[in-house]
Amino acid sequence: MSAASVLGSAPSGARNPDPRRTTRTGRRYDLGHVLGRVLLYLMLAALLVPVLFPVYYVFAGALMEPRELSSFPPQLAPTGLHPDNLLGALNAVPLLRMYTNSLVMAGIITVSQLLTSALAAYAFVFLRFRGSAVVFALFLSTLMIPGEATFIPNYLTLSGWGLSNTYAGLVLPFLAYAFGTFLLRQSFRQFPRELYDAARMDGMGHLRFLWTILLPLSKPALTAVGMYVFITSWNMYFWPLIITRSTEMQTLQIGLNSLKTGEAANPGLLLAGAALSVIPTLALVIFGQRFIVRGLTAGAVK
């Protein structure tokens, strides 16, 4: 038997291995693909430096001495742990009290907006009523109104009710918001209508269905809305500034602005206060970024 006949008897689907490619776990890689991935990661790392450097310098500067912060060329790392900036910031303004006020305000607003957004989104998706599309359009149109345009009317109203310089005055204008309703509505629309109809036929009420079935299956969207609302509420400055009068009711962002008076002498005080203020939001972003992505993309595809 000749070699040609042996080669001819090989299976028609067999292919000669390509020396330029290697197979690993069922996927093929070539040199160009690997180089492309390396270049992509290098580019992303280069873009990440200007984003993360300000965050790093806030924490590094909070631990530096005044001479280190004013040195030239600038010093990028502290020579040791110096808690004087943190202690000075706590003594300059009542930051712990302001920290508590910010936590209470952001927590109440977050819980309230999650509740109102979930109820409104449930009504728009599962309750059939005439004119729901028009009502939802009017609901979303409130997003086009700048928040600053409502501050003066809200201030006059709450001051007339005697609620200025109180927790109620801080949170009342923000207990409901259309953006959270929009995101949760998009998530609820992915829920199979047949399961809802089956639950209703079994005698399950609206609130029980929402609490025991729909909300547990919508945790990514709920987490994304909650994180967005908390970060937005935590960073509010103008409304707490005009509705509060005493330092006992002011929030952390106002306290940080008060630290600017000593910035020329010791910018470490301001950096220490900024480091304290960024810890909650930074922790939320680090541990909940996957929920943000999943929640914001809910309803993007069918």
Q: Provide the pLDDT for residue 265.
A: 55
Q: Is residue 102 part of a domain?
A: no
Q: Is residue 19 part of a domain?
A: no
- 294 vs 292: CA distance, rounded Å: 6
Q: Provide the pLDDT for residue 145.
A: 86
- 298 vs 292: CA distance, rounded Å: 10
Contact in structure between 196 and 226 (CB atoms under 8 Å): no
Q: Provide the pLDDT for residue 21.
A: 47
Q: Is residue 71 part of a domain?
A: no
Residue by residue, pLDDT tens for the chain (302 residues) are: 444 444 444 444 445 555 444 444 445 557 778 888 889 899 988 888 888 888 888 888 888 877 777 777 777 888 777 778 888 888 888 888 999 999 999 999 999 999 999 999 999 988 878 888 888 888 888 888 888 888 999 999 999 999 999 999 999 999 998 999 998 998 898 888 888 888 888 888 888 888 988 888 888 889 889 988 999 999 999 999 999 988 889 999 888 888 776 544 567 788 888 888 888 888 887 777 776 666 555 545 44
CATH (domain of 224): 1.10.3720.10
Q: Is residue 17 part of a domain?
A: no
Best CA proximity match to 267, nearest among 58, 50, 54:
58
Q: Is residue 88 part of a domain?
A: no
Best CA proximity match to 83, nearest among 62, 54, 52:
62
Q: Is residue 70 part of a domain?
A: no
Which tokens in the block code for residue 75?
Answer: 């010093």
Q: Is residue 77 part of a domain?
A: no
Buried b (16+ CB within 10 A) or exposed e, 104-133: ebbebbbebbbeebbbbbbbbbbeeeeeee
Strand partners, 23: 28
Q: How many folded domains does the chain comprise?
A: 1
Q: Is residue 178 part of a domain?
A: yes
pTM of the complete model: 0.78
Give the range of the structural domain holding residue 166, as residue numbers without chain letter.
Answer: 107-251+280-296
What's the longest Cα–Cα distance across the chain?
106
Q: Provide the pLDDT for residue 25.
A: 46
Q: Provide the pLDDT for residue 261.
A: 65
Q: Provide the pLDDT for residue 78.
A: 80
